[in-house]
Structure 1
Amino acid sequence: MKIFLVGMPGCGKSTVGKVLAERLGYTFLDLDTLVEEQEGMTVPQVFEQQGQDYFREAEARALRAVASRPDRVVLATGGGAPCFCGNMAFMGAQGITVYLRLSPQELVDRLTALDLQARPLLRDKTPPELLRYLAETLQQREQFYRQSVCTVAAGAAPATAVAQQIEQCLAGLPQEGNGSI
């Protein structure tokens, strides 16, 4: 079983993913980290040296490699991953997709506390520019995110509470095989 966490940058996919994986006894993986290992360079370097199209193809390759793993995995995807290369449909066919939803303002509040230089599409934006960019990008991406089996409001809740909400959603889904998640 694979659980794919999707949503905008800063929505908590990595933080919640680690908590959820620990609670379920799954392996936690981060798609950006896998791309970096696969490509031998950081995500910003891939963007700068190869371009966004190449990055999206590398991301799709890394995603497909995760699907072939025999272990149970919680994967934090990149914010754009579901929107390219048929990735959302692929994830839906390979496991369970969970959308961690936040408003653009909640995203800005979280992201302005982080170092945005590691995020190629967000760096060098002022808070008003960041809000505008996130609102426009969310509007474009939400058609993909909303295809998820579960949608969880990630707002101000701590990661443990969000992980519990995901578990509750998963418990309400038809179970595979032996009835365990």
Structure 2
Amino acid sequence: MSNAVRIFLVGMPGSGKSTVGKMLAQKLELEFLDLDALIIEQEGLSIAEIFERRGQDYFREAEASALRSLESKPGGLVVATGGGAPCFLGNMDYLLSTGIAVYLKVSARELLKRFTDEELRVRPLLQNKSETELLAYLTETLAHREQFYKKAQVVVDTAGVSIETTVQVLEKQVLPCLHRF
């Protein structure tokens, strides 16, 4: 396996990108990187502060820039992208051309079960919504984003599956794709 391999995890917030990504990186002996954490480091503001002070368009530009900055990072990476990252500024095409995109698929109803109150407070697009509004938002957002997510080379349904099992399935599905790198 080349040490320049890039595995990009895509999916909705709450789909398990960070949790699965950390375990997968460990198993494959690659570095794990959370794209949102990189943006926070580069901008010096939390994601919520970026949205509040500079707006979603600015955030999406910063996100695309952070994603492309990974090209200069040596070594292999497993990257947890933000939920909307693949849907803006040609990012999904970029992911597909520079690495392996993995879609962690989960239904809107399952996502709703996974969110803690703290997660709802820190995610700008999920804040201040009733449970009904949140489910409607997640359903609508997922319907829009899936056209991008489904372009991924690997799709894994994570509903009702343990993190460990998801990682094992990913290992089996991702390893054959790595020969490209």
Instruction: For residue 115 of structure 1, give the secondary structure of its aligned residue in structure 2.
Output: helix
1:12–1:100 Cα contact (<8 Å) kept: yes
* Larger CA deviation: 119-128 vs 166-175: 166-175
Which whole-Å CA distance do the structure 2 matches of 1:76 and 1:34 have between them? 11
Residue 111 of structure 1: aligned partner: 115
RMSD: 1.2
Residue 59 of structure 2: aligned partner: 55
1:142-164 deviation line (CA, Å, top 9, x unaligned):
00000000000111222111111
Which whole-Å CA distance do the structure 1 matches of 2:110 and 2:173 have between them? 23
- Listed as ranges, the matches of 1:5-44 within 5 Å are 5-44=9-48
Q: How far did residue 125 of structure 1 move?
A: 1.3
TM-score of the pair, normalised by structure 1:
0.94
1:2–1:67 Cα contact (<8 Å) kept: no
Which whole-Å CA distance do the structure 1 matches of 2:99 and 2:133 have between them? 35
Number of residue pairs the alignment of both structures matches: 177
1:87-111 deviation line (CA, Å, top 9, x unaligned):
0000111100000000110000001
Residue 143 of structure 1: aligned partner: 147
Q: CA 1:176 to 1:166, structure 2 compared with 1: closer, same or farther past 3 Å?
A: same
One-letter identity of the residue aligned with 1:85: L
1:98–1:150 Cα contact (<8 Å) kept: yes
1:91 aligns with 2:95: yes
Return the structure number with greater helix share. Answer: 2
Please point out which of 6, 13, 20 is paired with 1:2.
6
1:59–1:81 Cα contact (<8 Å) kept: yes
- Structure 1: runs of 5+ lacking an equivalent: none
Which whole-Å CA distance do the structure 2 matches of 1:69 and 1:93 have between them? 16
Instruction: For residue 175 of structure 1, give the secondary structure of its aligned residue in structure 2.
Output: helix
- Structure 2: runs of 5+ lacking an equivalent: none
2:100–2:177 Cα contact (<8 Å) kept: no
TM-score of the pair, normalised by structure 2:
0.94
